[in-house]
Amino acid sequence: EPGILEQVDLTPTLALGLGLPISKNSVGHLIPAVFEELSLREQLRLLQINGYQLSRLLQDSSPAFHK
């Protein structure tokens, strides 16, 4: 539903908004509306950082995950 946010999404959003690394055990994703004022390039970079962190979490938590 529009306007509903997941609590887990606050961690990566606040971390990257403050210039901090995302906690390695965070399962949340960025809240796009928070970064609307940034350039497309900056938005994509933040999404890349979040995606990389989530892929590392998957690799670390799933022994069957193939790198």
pLDDT value at residue 66: 63
Longest dimension (CA), the chain: 40
pTM of the model: 0.84
Burial class from Cβ neighbours inside 10 Å (0-12, 13-18, 19+) for residue 50 reads: buried
50-to-1, 15, 43, 44 alpha-carbon distances in Å = 22, 10, 11, 10
What pLDDT score was predicted for residue 67?
54
The pLDDT, as a whole number, for residue 29 is: 95
pLDDT tens digit string along 17-63?
999 999 999 999 999 999 999 999 999 999 999 999 999 999 888 87
Of the candidates 66, 65, 34, the residue with the CA atom closest to the CA atom of residue 47? 34
